[in-house]
Amino acid sequence: MATITANIEINSDIMGSMPVAISEKATLTKAGSNTGLAETTGLARAKFETTTATDLITYANVVGITNGNACKVYIKNTSSDTSQYVQISIGNTGGTPIEVGRLYGGAGGNGDWMFFPWIGGTNEDIVVDPSTTDPVVLEYMIFFE
């Protein structure tokens, strides 16, 4: 069985005399168990050239995901333009999605990224709303049961 491990390391001198050093590691597991997640959508890219809210991930279109699965989602803005951002929301484009945050582009394509748990389900799509009609590419992947 596959093992999926997520790591994050944050180091900063933002607090002056008290440096911040956070290092966390998690093995991604099925809901309520110690059994590892075994599926993935694979790494994908999507290009957007509109300022209209659009589904990045439509729950009903991801084969193998059922409501209540322990899913983890990775999304990254690959834009090199630091003024370009993409608003990330949960909900659906026919309603009022709830904004989770904004991913800004970064120099050399090192833009903002996010990794978060997602339960999926009816009306729980992942919606993107770019700030510009200039092309912006998001890469994304879902890990699930």
CB 62 within 8 A of CB 119: no
CATH architecture of 39-144: Sandwich (2.60)
* Residue whose C-alpha is closest to residue 75's, from 55, 60, 61, 95: 55
For residue 142 the two structure tokens come to 């879902």
pLDDT higher than 80, residue 38: yes
For residue 114 the two structure tokens come to 């996010």
Residue 96: the pLDDT is 87
Name the 3-class secondary structure at 107. helix
Q: How far apart are CA 57 and CA 28, in angstroms?
A: 20
pLDDT higher than 70, residue 71: yes
pLDDT digits (tens, 9 = 90+) for 91-136: 988 788 999 999 999 998 899 999 999 887 666 899 999 999 999 9
pTM of the model: 0.90
pLDDT digits (tens, 9 = 90+) for 50-70: 999 999 998 888 877 777 678
Domain layout of the chain by residue ranges: 39-144
Residue type, 94: G
